[in-house]
Structure 1
Amino acid sequence: MRLITEKNLSKITIYIFIIIMSSMIFMISYFYVKNTYADFEIQMQKFVKEYYDEQKNTLKKEINTIIDVLNYNITKENVQEKELKEDAIRLLNNISFQESKSNYYFVYDIKNINGGDDFAVQVVNPNRLDLIGKSISTNFKDFNGKKFREEFLTNIRKHGESYTTYAYKKPNTNDKIKQKLSYFKYYKEWNWVIAVGIYTDDVEKEIAVKRKDLELKVRKQVGQNIVLFIMFLSIAILISIVVSQKIDEVLKKYDNKVKTKEKELKDLNENLEKRIAEEIDKNREKEQLLIQKSRFIALGEMISNIAHQWRQPLSELSSILMYIKFKHSINALDEKTMQIKSSEADTVIEYMSHTIDDFRNFFMPKKEKEEFYLYKVIDSVMTIVSSSLKNDNIEVIIKLDKETKIKTYLNEYEQVLLNIIKNAKDALIEKEVKNPTITITAYEENDYVVLFIEDNAGGITVEPIGKIFEPYFTTKDDTHGTGIGLYMSKIIIDKNMKGKLRVRNTKNGAKFGIHVPKSL
């Protein structure tokens, strides 16, 4: 039993479309919600850090304000230090930091800055009146076993101040132990350490309020976007229904055409011989049209490939003509220069002619192979492209053994070299490389001659890298490439020459390796 028929084709189309769109919307919604909440957590972490930094700055500011007041009072005349200290103690006992009564000032009168059992006397601590006037030890441990006094005193000795976190009794909480963040600063004039702190549970409450507000906003935003996704899905489903109806109309037309053909077939049976002759003539015409069309397609592909291969030589020819025109315009065109440039132009034109022959022969099984020196091929290719490379300040470094020979198809081998060098040049220009360089090296490896062409354009970013050899694949725009050059080069080396065309990235750029048998 057939699952898809002409009658249920439109319905199947709708169902498939709805399933695909629903799956896409679900995945988009899922990742959107996931990423949104992930971003929310990152923002919250940033907010918490900034909030605690702000609290630290506030603590420091409060202590600095108190110290400014003490410094001002010291400047008063006819006031004993003892009296000034007593006024300061009364002041610090009767003020609190911010509106919360949990935050208070406390002061140590330092007796031994290096610490110990009697390193200081507590002179201010509204939360622990039982400690006033008593000696304080740095060996004291908080509820979690931390010697916080030893920690802040160590920082006082090094920096004159300290931020310290520890567990301590919170006022008005029935002696509950809470984490506290305090700022300690050394007041050298009186040998005091003045401090103020905040209980982190108060801070966490404020952070929790902020978190709740942000969560509400995030939920609202997520909800709005989910609604938009659902609306989009609904619209897409409506469109699919309309498209399905159009498909039904097309099928009905197709059905009518089938019925018409059936009627024509009946008519054909009535006058079979005449109709057969007529249909044979029609089929012959159609076959001729198909043959002609296939020829045009093949011709179009060949012209496209030739055009691709001619772009560089035409550019070189244009450069030569522009150079001659420039020399002539400044009356500097001597006979020697004219002969040199004419020779270069002849070389380019000859190569263009060879390119046509090469593309024509590419589709023909008979080709001639010949033995040649590798360096002469490089010289021939550089004659064509050297002018263009010089115009773009691209240096070409050639390291070859002049005795290296190879026996293969010369024109095709040159075509591959030109393709790779042109791609290297385009990459160097596109990436605006400083000191652009193309390096050509070669060596013999068993039965192969290996030629390397390497640039310093940073390498190929396509993954996998072998994708650059696929037909019509290109990283350039339509005006700079069709994606056929490397594909044709791969066909020439791998299939026609029984070799290997490979590419890999080095620390500087891309490195193409042309492995060709010494003799086919």
Structure 2
Amino acid sequence: MQLMTEKNISKIIIYVFIIIMTTMILMISYFYVKKTYEDFDRQMDKYVQDYYKNQKIMLKKEIDTIIDVIKYNATKSDEENEDELKRDTVRLLNNISFDEDKSNYIFVYEVLDINGGDDFAKLLVNPNRPDLLGLMLSTNYKDANGKKFRQQFMEDIRQKGESFTEYAYKKVNSDTSNQKLSYFKYFPRWRWVIAVGVYTDDIEEEISRNREQLQKSIQNQIVQNILLFTLFLSIAIVISILVSQKIDDVLKSYQRRVKAKTDELNELNENLEKRVEGEIEKNREHEQLLVQKSKFIALGEMISNIAHQWRQPLSELSSIFMNIKFKYYMERLDEKTMDKKVREAEAVLEFMSHTIDDFRNFFMPKKSKEEFYLRGSMDSIMTIISSALSNNSILVDMDIPEDIKLNTYANEFQQVILNIITNAKDVLIQNKIQEPWIKIYAKETENNVILLIEDNGGGIKVEPKSKVFEPYFTTKKDSDGTGIGLYMSKIIVEKNMNGKLRVRDTTHGARFEIYLPK
């Protein structure tokens, strides 16, 4: 029965391995697809906001251009010719349109009463409604949705001289009303309100086209990655089969040796001493075989994990070797470049040797709290970012007692610290600080562990300081920052970890303070 079980153990290993790897691939694919679509939704939300913002900028630019032209022409005319200039301007604006379908047209009101009311203005230009030209208008007029949009933009004009207003209005060559976003600006010299608008259904149509293109691209990317996952699973299965065949060979050899020993023991049954020695030898071999079997099983699992984890580092190594080969053929491979590329390759190999156990944490972060030493966690973070700091001559002074423990989400904690240190590094580089440094130290109180990260980057120039934790706020030049790192850090610390994240200026720069409950 024992031999039968050992005989089938290789098949059991294969089945278990396939089940485990298939489950992992399915889970990885699920989380990958989920995260990809979540990122897609966030990108589209930002794209829509930016698109509407750009539309507003474009509308304002069009009106500003027209007003600049009017101002220029007005400066060259006297009072007698100004009325003629107004009439010429009206004729010109009636023929201006920024779209082929003429839906993006200029319209002009002559304001008679800046405070609004009935007959507050006369319509001078509107290619879409020639039937209203010359008629008196009222701020009490309501659009198809019951909105007094003229009252709204006149209130804005009284306050700041311009207005962005959304309302329902009929399109050119159409009897139905569509939502429209218009920009109104007051030209005091002639008491004109000059405006231009765009229909939001045209905007949404353009956004929808871009959404479909981006979604199709993402779907293709997802399919490609799932195919890659499947390919790696197939490779891992082939490797496991080869390992199991090796185990089969070992087991068959073991069975032959057991049979030979059994025959030998039957022949030597009369000699007790030899029987004992034979049993001892048999047991020793059996133990060695079990150890060997365990090593083969562990080897199979390790090879499987490495096949998945090392895909990116292997790609980096390939890129390094291709770069070396290219520079060699171009006769530009000097000793300095070779030394640099060798160090890069060594760094990748070092990373590969320490990252086998990181696979599950990367794709499936731990959702439960765990107890860990603060110093060890900080050492791991410094391993990740030390190269970037040293390359920029940033000195790190870390003073953290080795006995301080935390009981929280280790991965999220490291993400917060990495965000803060990276932010400090970027500030030091941006401000071109001489002899830059970052100090990291910790202390304990009765209820909290307090971690402080301080730099000499010159401090935070905004008030209140808490503004740095707002989403999309950044002080980095040329839009180098996304403005979400510190925001997400505060969410993690205060909502997920029940702690506090604060920032204040010091004599030399800024200090971030993290309070976490014990």
Cα pair 1:433 1:457 within 8 Å, conserved: no
Deviations 1:164-191 (A, max 9, x none): 1111111122x11101000000001101
Q: In the alignment, does 2:90 pair up with 1:84?
A: no
Q: CA deviation at 1:53?
A: 1.0
**For 1:393-412, what aligned pairs fall within 5 Å after superposition?**
none
Q: CA deviation at 1:118?
A: 1.6
Cα pair 1:4 1:12 within 8 Å, conserved: no
Identity %: 55
Deviations 1:183-234 (A, max 9, x none): 0000011011000000011111111111111112111111111111111111
Q: In the alignment, does 2:85 pair up with 1:143?
A: no
* CA distance in structure 1 between the partners assigned to 2:376 and 2:222 by the alignment: 46
Higher mean C-alpha displacement, 68-77 vs 84-93: 68-77
Q: In the alignment, does 2:460 pair up with 1:461?
A: no
Q: 1:222 maps to what in 2?
A: 222
* Residue type of the alignment partner of 1:110: V
Cα pair 1:92 1:105 within 8 Å, conserved: yes
Q: In the alignment, does 2:161 pair up with 1:152?
A: no
Out of 495, 498, 508, the residue aligned to residue 450 of structure 2 is: 508
Higher mean C-alpha displacement, 67-76 vs 192-201: 67-76
**For 1:442-461, what aligned pairs fall within 5 Å after superposition?**
460-461=405-406
Cα pair 1:104 1:126 within 8 Å, conserved: yes
Cα pair 2:374 2:406 within 8 Å, conserved: no
SS at the partner of 1:16?
helix
SS at the partner of 2:140?
coil
* Residue type of the alignment partner of 2:47: F
SS at the partner of 1:257?
helix
* CA distance in structure 1 between the partners assigned to 2:4 and 2:205 by the alignment: 63
Deviations 1:353-385 (A, max 9, x none): xxxxxxxxxxxxxxxxxxxxxxxxxxxxxxxxx
Deviations 1:308-357 (A, max 9, x none): xxxxxxxxxxxxxxxxxxxxxxxxxxxxxxxxxxxxxxxxxxxxxxxxxx
* Residue type of the alignment partner of 1:96: S
For the aligned residue pairs, the C-alpha RMSD in angstroms reads: 3.6
Deviations 1:47-105 (A, max 9, x none): 11111111111111110111111112212345522211111110110111243411111
* CA distance in structure 2 between the partners assigned to 1:93 and 1:25 by the alignment: 64
Cα pair 1:457 1:508 within 8 Å, conserved: no
SS at the partner of 1:115?
coil
Closer, same or farther in 2 for the Cα pair 1:21/1:3, shift >3 Å?
Answer: farther
Deviations 1:252-296 (A, max 9, x none): 011112112212321231x2344357679x79xx9xxxxxxxxxx
TM-score (norm 1): 0.55
Q: 2:327 maps to what in 1?
A: none
Structure number, greater radius of gyration = 1
Q: Which segments of 5 or more consecutive residues in structure 1 lack a partner in the other structure? A: 287-422, 437-454, 466-502, 514-520
Q: 2:428 maps to what in 1?
A: none
Q: CA deviation at 1:243?
A: 1.2
Q: 1:417 maps to what in 2?
A: none
Q: CA deviation at 1:461?
A: 3.2
**For 1:54-453, what aligned pairs fall within 5 Å after superposition?**
54-77=54-77, 79-173=80-174, 175-269=175-269, 271-275=270-274
Q: 1:303 maps to what in 2?
A: none
Q: CA deviation at 1:504?
A: 7.5
* Residue type of the alignment partner of 1:252: K
Q: CA deviation at 1:6?
A: 2.6
Closer, same or farther in 2 for the Cα pair 1:143/1:126, shift >3 Å?
Answer: same
Q: Which segments of 5 or more consecutive residues in structure 2 lack a partner in the other structure? A: 285-372, 383-394, 411-444, 452-514
Closer, same or farther in 2 for the Cα pair 1:456/1:155, shift >3 Å?
Answer: farther
Deviations 1:416-460 (A, max 9, x none): xxxxxxx99999999999997xxxxxxxxxxxxxxxxxx989953
* CA distance in structure 2 between the partners assigned to 1:204 and 1:52 by the alignment: 10
* Residue type of the alignment partner of 2:161: G
Cα pair 1:456 1:508 within 8 Å, conserved: no
* CA distance in structure 2 between the partners assigned to 1:433 and 1:37 by the alignment: 39
Closer, same or farther in 2 for the Cα pair 1:2/1:37, shift >3 Å?
Answer: farther
Cα pair 2:265 2:275 within 8 Å, conserved: no
Closer, same or farther in 2 for the Cα pair 1:243/1:167, shift >3 Å?
Answer: same
Q: 1:474 maps to what in 2?
A: none
* CA distance in structure 2 between the partners assigned to 1:219 and 1:426 by the alignment: 40
* CA distance in structure 2 between the partners assigned to 1:229 and 1:158 by the alignment: 60
Q: 1:29 maps to what in 2?
A: 29
Q: 2:19 maps to what in 1?
A: 19
SS at the partner of 1:263?
helix
SS at the partner of 1:109?
strand
Closer, same or farther in 2 for the Cα pair 1:2/1:135, shift >3 Å?
Answer: farther
* CA distance in structure 1 between the partners assigned to 2:190 and 2:239 by the alignment: 83
* CA distance in structure 1 between the partners assigned to 2:162 and 2:448 by the alignment: 54
SS at the partner of 1:235?
helix
* CA distance in structure 2 between the partners assigned to 1:97 and 1:127 by the alignment: 13
Cα pair 1:10 1:248 within 8 Å, conserved: yes
SS at the partner of 1:116?
coil
Count of residue correspondences = 317
Q: 2:315 maps to what in 1?
A: none
SS at the partner of 1:11?
helix
* CA distance in structure 1 between the partners assigned to 2:374 and 2:220 by the alignment: 53
Closer, same or farther in 2 for the Cα pair 1:16/1:458, shift >3 Å?
Answer: closer
* CA distance in structure 2 between the partners assigned to 1:22 and 1:426 by the alignment: 34
TM-score (norm 2): 0.55
Cα pair 1:459 1:506 within 8 Å, conserved: no
Closer, same or farther in 2 for the Cα pair 1:4/1:138, shift >3 Å?
Answer: farther
SS at the partner of 1:130?
helix
* CA distance in structure 2 between the partners assigned to 1:112 and 1:105 by the alignment: 21
Cα pair 2:161 2:186 within 8 Å, conserved: yes
SS at the partner of 1:114?
coil
Cα pair 1:97 1:196 within 8 Å, conserved: no
* CA distance in structure 2 between the partners assigned to 1:219 and 1:3 by the alignment: 51
SS at the partner of 1:461?
strand
Q: 1:332 maps to what in 2?
A: none
Cα pair 2:119 2:137 within 8 Å, conserved: yes
* CA distance in structure 2 between the partners assigned to 1:236 and 1:228 by the alignment: 12
Closer, same or farther in 2 for the Cα pair 1:3/1:116, shift >3 Å?
Answer: farther
Closer, same or farther in 2 for the Cα pair 1:3/1:65, shift >3 Å?
Answer: farther
Cα pair 1:428 1:456 within 8 Å, conserved: no
Q: 2:42 maps to what in 1?
A: 42
SS at the partner of 1:179?
strand
* CA distance in structure 2 between the partners assigned to 1:427 and 1:229 by the alignment: 31
SS at the partner of 2:7?
coil
Cα pair 2:140 2:148 within 8 Å, conserved: yes
Cα pair 2:18 2:237 within 8 Å, conserved: yes
* CA distance in structure 2 between the partners assigned to 1:172 and 1:45 by the alignment: 32
Closer, same or farther in 2 for the Cα pair 1:17/1:127, shift >3 Å?
Answer: same
* CA distance in structure 2 between the partners assigned to 1:188 and 1:66 by the alignment: 14
